[in-house]
Amino acid sequence: MTHNIHQMERDVFRDVCSALVNQGYYLNVYFDGEAKPEFKRPGINDADKLADFCFDGIYASTDEWSVIVSSSTGDEHIGTFKCVAGNEGYNLIADNSLSLEHIIGPIIEKWEDVYNAMPF
> CATH says 5-116 is which class?
alpha beta
Band (pLDDT 50/70/90 cuts) for residue 100 is very high
Amino acid 35: pLDDT = 63
Taking a C-beta distance cutoff of 8 angstroms, is the pair 80, 94 a contact?
no
36, 30 contact by CB (below 8 A): yes
| Confidence band, pLDDT 50/70/90 cuts, at residue 50 | confident
What does pTM read for this prediction? 0.84
Q: For residues 2 and 107, which has the higher predicted lDDT (pLDDT)? A: 107
Cα 120 → chain centroid: 25
Closest C-alpha among 20, 6, 61 to residue 39? 61
Domain limits of the chain?
Answer: 5-116
Q: Is the pLDDT of residue 34 over 50?
A: yes
Residue 58 has a pLDDT of: 65
Which residues contact residue 89 at a Cβ distance below 8 angstroms, ignoring those fewer than 6 apart? 3, 5, 6, 7, 8, 9, 12, 111, 115
